[in-house]
Amino acid sequence: MEISRLQSLTLYLNISYNSLTGRLASLGGMQYIQAIDISSNKLSGPIPGDIGSCSRLQYLNLAKNKLEGMVPMSIGQLKSLESIDMSFNELFGPVPRSIANLTMLRHLNFSYNNLNGSVPNQGDLKNLIATSFLANPGLCAASGWLNLPNCASSTGNHYALSRNIVLGASIGTIFTLCCIMGVFYVFYRRIKRASIINSLLGEGFMQISSQELHTATHGFSPANLLGNGSFGSVFKGLLFDNRLVAIKLFNQDPQNSYKHFVKECRVLRKIRHRNLVKVLSSSSIGDFWALVLKFMSQGSLEQHLHGDETRMCSLSLKMRVNISLDVAHRMAYLHHDRSSLVVHCDMKPSNVLMDETMTAHVADF
């Protein structure tokens, strides 16, 4: 796809979700463009090196294609860039250190690629969050940063050896102090986590950490992905007690997704009905926001109505009537059986989920 053939004065380019194929060719002659969104297509090949000529570019979304090769160093020339999304591609090689030059950068997502090496942590990159680099098994970072493996270095090893020799003389005392501090730290984290969860959902809900959700989904692996929505993605997870759950992971967009997360928690903590998807817990740590919901084993009404012929034939007239009644009972509860009116603004078959008894449950507020 030769983007440079478009008019050079184009300010906003949005051709996402169009099933475009072919290689992504030159971006030259687009020096005035401010936004490029060609996500969710089937484009292949490397990212053009002349992307650095788009000097006024503020928003770049190349996610969910089949792009390969390395992220070009010239991306560090885009001084106005505020948002980069190259997730769900086949990119490899290191994260270019030139992105440390992007002082305006507020959002970055390189998740679900094959990047390797260390993640630079200079400048504003220190404000990056863990979900910016999900599912890149070859990446590493400084100790404890971004939940990535620690990058080993000879300098670090020599320092650790010297430190261990010095601490050897008083190991007993220091070990005791560390244990005491560790116990206080664990209790502090639990209290802090509980206060965050209770402030959103109230008492009576499970308390699950972001690390437990990460483990339950194998690092939010694509193999566990159930679907994507406008505010995030839903993954299947297996908790420590062997319970299957659905985990709704909200996008890293503080202005929109976080507000949606908070509103959904405030609604769900006040309503109870057999035809609403049961919420089990929430997790809100830093820029990580997730809801833990009961897993609906029979999928959505959308899948039964417009999926394969086997599922369509399995819905008898009686079952269709019962599903309609389930949804109607739920709507009546929200509109008439509560002191405050709740309106579901996105009522559609994909938000009607079926449990093992084919009872309908409404989700996604």
The domain boundary, picked from 140, 167, 182, lies at 140
What's residue 24's pLDDT?
A: 79
Q: Which of 50, 253, 337, 346 is catalytic?
A: 346
Asked whether residue 71 is assigned to any structural domain, the reply reads yes
* Three-class SS state of 356: coil
* Three-class SS state of 206: coil
CB 112, CB 137: distance < 8 Å: no
Going by C-alpha positions, the residue among 300, 304, 280 that lies closest to residue 292 is 280
What's residue 161's pLDDT?
A: 43
Domain identity same for 278 and 311: no
Pull the structure tokens for residue 236. 């299947």
How many Å apart are CA 228 and CA 282, to the nearest integer?
A: 18
Which range of residues forms the domain containing residue 15?
3-140
Interstrand relation of 59-61 and 83-85 (parallel, antiparallel or unpaired): parallel
Domain identity same for 163 and 262: yes
**In the beta sheet, which residues pair with residue 87?**
none
Buried b or exposed e, range 83-122, using 16+ CB within 10 angstroms: bbbbbbbebeebbbebbbbbeebebbbbbbbebeebbbee
Longest alpha-carbon distance in the chain: 79
What's residue 198's pLDDT?
A: 41
Asked whether residue 210 is assigned to any structural domain, the reply reads yes
Domain identity same for 269 and 357: no
Domain identity same for 282 and 175: yes
H, E, C per residue of 106-159: CEEECCCCEEEEECCCCHHHHHCCHHHHCCCCEEEECCCCCCCCECCCHHHHHH
Asked whether residue 362 is assigned to any structural domain, the reply reads yes
The count of structural domains within the chain is 3
What amino acid is encoded at 365 in this protein? F
pTM, entire model:
0.46
Return the half-sphere exposure (C-beta side, CA atoms, 13 A cut-off) of residue 148. Answer: 27
Domain identity same for 173 and 286: yes
Domain identity same for 77 and 39: yes
Asked whether residue 125 is assigned to any structural domain, the reply reads yes
37 catalytic residue (yes or no) = no
* Full pLDDT tens readout for the chain, 365 residues: 555 444 444 577 878 777 788 887 777 777 888 899 898 898 889 998 888 888 889 999 999 999 999 999 999 999 899 999 999 999 999 999 888 888 888 888 999 999 998 888 776 676 677 678 888 988 888 776 777 888 865 334 444 444 555 566 567 677 777 778 876 666 555 544 444 444 455 555 677 788 888 888 988 888 989 888 777 888 999 988 888 999 988 887 666 777 777 777 777 777 778 888 888 888 777 678 888 888 988 888 888 888 766 555 678 888 899 999 988 888 888 888 766 777 777 788 888 888 888 998 888 76
Domain identity same for 105 and 229: no
For position 91, which CATH number holds?
Answer: 3.80.10.10
Asked whether residue 359 is assigned to any structural domain, the reply reads yes
Tell me the pLDDT tens digit for each residue of 43-84: 889 998 888 888 889 999 999 999 999 999 999 999 899 999
In the sheet with 114-118, reading across from the earlier edge strand, the strands are 21-23, 42-45, 66-69, 90-93, 114-118, 138-140
For position 342, which CATH number holds?
Answer: 1.10.510.10
How many Å apart are CA 212 and CA 77, to the nearest integer?
A: 39
Going by C-alpha positions, the residue among 36, 8, 34 that lies closest to residue 24 is 36
